[in-house]
Structure 1
């Protein structure tokens, strides 16, 4: 006897053999028991879930010599003939290759004739969504009022592509994906019948690869039997399908839990050297962490899990993560998977993801705490609203603020005396003197220059060289993450770097102001921190401010040192703890 593929050999021959579609079989059996046979059915659902098999079982049930019956007997000539495909009155049509209006017109002519071998003529139209619009229009009238001896069974994986006029003329049944547990049970039954030894984790790997399709699962199992003989193990599946073994996924998860970046990258490199695709590795890792999350949040709901069993090691790994951590990690994985669709460097993205997952969050927390404490100090001093904004964004309108400050230094009594003791013409000239006085004297250092004073005194030349030589890389990475942020950053040029700040000078004020907006600055700060390997923050200034600062920085030190009060304060508290404000 010639070889028959497993999915054909184990195709369900009765409604009782159907797996995972109880809602469909129950409805059809009730209709058969009551004699309520419709003229048109629509079976829709994912591939390999039993649509065509159910159509043939239904055709046997309504044409069985004992029927219409809830179950076909599979013994009478009608049942055996339909199973073998030898009954001319049961016609199976592939709509993908017979999609034109001419084929439908021919079918419409054939339905007029009465069946010759069985009770009903049954037309099973597979992949019906492939019919053309003209073909659907030609089928409408026949489908609405077919002869009493005709039953149409339409099957499709994409019911949304069918016209509403077709849908409204059919009884629709939606087939569900078959669960992992049901697939494993079916595979175990077949393995026992074939006397094949299959490891439990191997069965679950097949079920996951099938993605809810029983036909896919049987095809994979058939291929594994040919490859591994009477012994099918997890290694057999990974060798054939290119998946990742569970023990390797467990080792990667343990390395991430321990923040062991070297071990995680070593394991990842080993998988890549074996020829595993980056996308496949990421998919397997995402499913594994999904299972960790399910066990962590709903440990008693094992039917929603995607694993064979929860051994002690898996439970221990789940305990090392918080639920929020797992959610964040899965979110990063899915985001990376989405980026891989538009990026030709999948391996690089996967390595970057692994580094992020292993990165110690304590550094970020310490940086956040430092920034919060700094903000609290500024709020306590009452300068966060005005001074910090000026120091960050420069000194546009600085002359007007300086004029207002000069005018406020004169007491009301002095102002009144001046107005009363001088003639009108003299008063007008005197009123202008506070405004013109700063212009005649040496200009005071700008707020931006004062805020940058520590950077110009202790610049980090090594980091500056790294940023300058790799500025194009920084721009490319910013563009990949947020193209609008890169467009505004193009106008800037790095001018200095210290351990916590990167100074970038801009020609235009609008570019400087826009990159400092949180929506853009957060992206740029993240890229700079990753590029330099330590937390960094962008400080944007105008090129004119930067040049003025370099010229005025040392002169400011000399002028302030001459003030006895300032000198005494510096002596008592030290230069680093003293900030001079006008």
Structure 2
């Protein structure tokens, strides 16, 4: 294969060719010139930043008989052999595939022998963090006291995985990411040398997409050259990298900021139809929002990072968008980016994201505040009117009690007259949370007339199965409900929250689904009556009073005990509990009365 990738052809052969690592290359050259070489080096840093290239240059420089100012000549037999990888005294080991104890022991044993051609025997161990614990232990002693003619150069992208005992025995050099300007200059040099025309904006897109790795930049440049038949254009660079044009990002965010949901969704559709990657689009949006925040604080910093490419649309957008809004957008973008990793339908997430970003605004919140104040004031007026009505009612009742007392009625029926006023206001006591929650007692009382404990138990036993047959929305609505009374022809269901009671009462599809479920499970379909949970005790007591006043026998049995006996048994239960031993009380509290059987000795 005659063609070689650009990153292989243009691999640095001298320290001066290593881009963006001036401090490291200067230190190594000075160490060679002054003959202050260490027995072991650790080159750590991101991928494509020159670690392995610097290791090979160092191996050539310390063995080159013609080295000058710490640089190898690259013309002698030793330099050419190291460049071609044929010199036996320079050994490259891939720790990813040779990470066992036996391989490192073999290195340790062979390191004792003197070099055959070169001055130093050099071991370059790439991705050294992949070595096993046993392999590191085998290497430890050799690194601590190596032979005088051996130099170890360890390279890694994850230095945190290397044991501290190893790091303490080497000289560590941290390679940093290469700046976009340095990558841009190197690509311009290569293309000029190859006499290939290029678009400046295209090279800037590639330099930013490389994320600080020179090897990545040259690989992308290779792809662009192949895609465009040795032509480097802006459009080709965008296609290969999957990046989105700045104009589309500006247009999209402008529509989002202006709450133009329709046009923003159209921008997303245009981006996807042009073949752009959804994940890359979100990543570009995050970077764009970051640039907006930075530009509002330090325009010079953004101009430097963007290689001087700042359009008027970007400047206009930074002047109209609020920083707090951008903060919220970045949070939403980050959440969507994490969710999109596990989906096969990223377009759905982008549409949801677009609607959310377009409808979120601090201005909307500020506009809502006066309305909230008005609503609060209105609610306050309603409360004041309600209090005044209650006061008038209490005053009227007090007058009636006084008249009855003067007529002598209170002496004979004191308990009834005292309890009646208490009961009547209680029945009419309004609740702020239930001001709109109206319960139809004409449907509840017929169910209670024929309610039995057995029917309620039957419904409770199949309640979870019934809810599992509903769709997600209806099941979420019914999760805060429970049956409290039942007969063969009807079921009373209480809801924990009044607004959910109202929603369920008007949802005919929900009631049909519940009926179909009961028909499938129990083979009969009772009517459903919905009530708010906090009104159930009041309704139950009202039913008992109505039955007693009419002289009828109360047969309804509700969730915990029969309605008729629930109030009468309270005093008896309290007296019984006072006489029970302490251990019986504790057992009853833990397990309930239904399964406790107390036997006397």
Offset at residue 267 of structure 1 (A): 1.8
5 Å-filtered alignment, 1:547-558, equals none
123 and 377 in structure 1: CA distance in 2 versus 1, 3 angstrom threshold: same
**Alpha-carbon distance in structure 2 between the residues aligned to 1:11 and 1:449:** 74
Once the two structures are superposed, what CA deviation does each residue of 1:391-440 show, in whole Å capped at 9, x if it has no partner? xxxxxxxxxxx99x9699869xx8xxx8xx99xx969x747743443437
Alignment-derived partner of residue 507 in structure 1: 494
Where does residue 225 of structure 1 map in the other structure? 225
Change (3 A) 1:145 1:348: same
Taking a change above 3 Å as real, the CA distance of residues 232 and 548 of structure 1, as seen in their structure-2 partners, is: farther
Structure 1 range deviating more: 43-52 or 31-40: 31-40
Name the SS for the 1:232 alignment partner: coil
8 Å Cα contact 1:201-1:308 kept in structure 2: no
Q: Which residue of 2 aligns with 1:50?
A: 50
Partner of 2:535: 545
Contact 1:406 1:434 (C-alpha < 8 Å) held by counterparts: no
Residues 453 and 14 of structure 1: is their aligned pair in 2 closer, same or farther, counting only changes over 3 Å?
same
Q: Which residue is 2:162 aligned to?
A: 162
Aligned partner of 1:434 among 418, 421, 428? 418
1:244 is displaced (CA, Å) by 2.0
Q: Please give the per-residue CA displacement for 1:360-401, whole angstroms capped at 9, x wherever unaligned.
A: 735544334312343356679997xx99xxxxxxxxxxxxxx
Which residue of structure 1 lines up, in the alignment, with residue 427 of structure 2? Answer: 443
Q: Structure 2: how far apart are the matches of 1:185 and 1:453?
A: 73
Is the alpha carbon distance of 1:216 and 1:408 closer, same or farther for their aligned partners in structure 2, counting shifts above 3 Å? farther
Contact 1:235 1:245 in 2 (8 A): no
Native 8 Å contact 2:494 2:536 kept in 1: no
Question: Shift of the alpha carbon at 1:354?
Answer: 0.9
Inter-partner Cα distance in structure 2 for 1:35 and 1:234:
49
Aligned to 1:106: 106
Structure-to-structure mapping, 1:129-528, within 5 angstroms: 129-302=129-302, 305-306=305-306, 308-359=308-359, 361=361, 362-375=363-376, 430=414, 433-439=417-423, 443-448=427-432, 451-452=435-436, 472=471, 474=473, 490-491=479-480, 507=494, 509=496, 512=497
Task: Give, in whole Å, the separation in 1 of the partners of 2:500 and 2:123.
Answer: 66
User: CA-to-partner distance for each residue in 1:98-118, whole Å, 9 max, x for gaps?
Assistant: 112221111111101111111
Could you tell me how far 1:15 is from its partner in structure 2?
Answer: 1.7
Instruction: Give how far 1:127 is off.
Output: 0.9
Distance verdict in 2 for CA 1:160–1:455, change over 3 Å? farther
Q: CA deviation at 1:120?
A: 0.7
Secondary structure, in 3 states, of the residue corresponding to 1:153? strand
| Kept in 2: contact 1:201–1:234 (CA 8 A) | yes
The answer for the alignment partner of 1:127 in structure 2 is 127
In structure 1, the partner of 2:581 is none
The 2-side partners of 1:65 and 1:273 are apart by 60
Long gaps (5+) in structure 1:
388-401, 457-470, 477-485, 494-504, 517-539, 553-582
Aligned-pair distance for 1:150? 0.4
**How far is the alpha carbon of 1:276 from its aligned partner?**
2.7
Alpha-carbon distance change, 350 to 450 in structure 1, aligned in 2, over 3 angstroms: closer
Q: Distance between the aligned counterparts of 1:160 and 1:514, measured in 2?
A: 55
Does structure 1 retain, via aligned residues, the 8 Å contact 2:495–2:531? no
Q: For the Cα contact (< 8 Å) 1:407–1:434, is it kept in 2?
A: no
Superposed displacement of residue 334, structure 1: 1.1
- Determine helix, strand or coil for the equivalent of 2:338: helix
Of residues 117-126 and 260-269 in structure 1, the stretch that sits farther from structure 2 once superposed is 260-269
Cα distance, 1:214 vs. partner? 0.5
The 1:431–1:87 alpha-carbon spacing in structure 2 relative to 1, beyond 3 Å, is same
> For the Cα contact (< 8 Å) 2:122–2:152, is it kept in 1?
yes
User: Scaled by the length of structure 1, what TM-score is found?
Assistant: 0.70
1:328-362 per-residue CA deviation (whole Å, 9 max, x = no partner) reads 22221112112223444421111111112222735
Per-residue deviation, 1:228 = 1.0
- In the TM superposition, residue 448 of structure 1 has moved relative to its aligned partner by 4.2
Q: CA deviation at 1:182?
A: 1.6
**Alpha carbons 2:89, 2:121 under 8 Å: kept:** yes
The equivalent residue for 2:9 is 9
C-alpha distance in 1, partners of 2:85/2:359? 62
Unmatched runs of 5 consecutive residues or more in structure 2: 441-469, 483-491, 502-529, 543-601
| Offset from partner CA, 1:205-252 (integer Å, 9 cap, x none) | 212221211001001101211221342112112333333233322322
Change (3 A) 1:315 1:435: same
Structure of higher CA gyration radius: 2
Rounded to whole Å, the distance in 2 between the matches of 1:434 and 1:175 is 89
User: Quick check: 1:43–1:156 contact (8 Å CA) kept in 2?
Assistant: yes
Shift of 1:269: 0.8
Q: C-alpha distance in 2, partners of 1:319/1:299? A: 12
Distance 1:514 1:177 in 2: 57
- Distance in 1 (CA, whole Å) between partners of 2:15 and 2:474 is 62
* Distance change >3 Å, CA 224–CA 441, structure 1 → 2: closer
RMSD of aligned Cα (Å): 4.1
Report SS of the residue matched to 2:172: strand
How many residues were matched structurally? 469
1:291/1:307 contact within 8 Å kept: no
The alpha-carbon distance between structure 1 residues 547 and 58, as it changes in their structure 2 partners (threshold 3 A), is same
Distance 1:13 1:171, change over 3 A: same
Going from structure 1 to structure 2, the CA distance change for 1:89 and 1:24 (only over 3 Å counts) comes to same
SS at match of 1:172: strand
Compared with structure 1, are the counterparts of its residues 62 and 440 closer, same or farther at alpha carbon in structure 2 (3 Å cutoff)? closer
Distance change (3 Å), C-alpha of 1:75 and 1:547: same
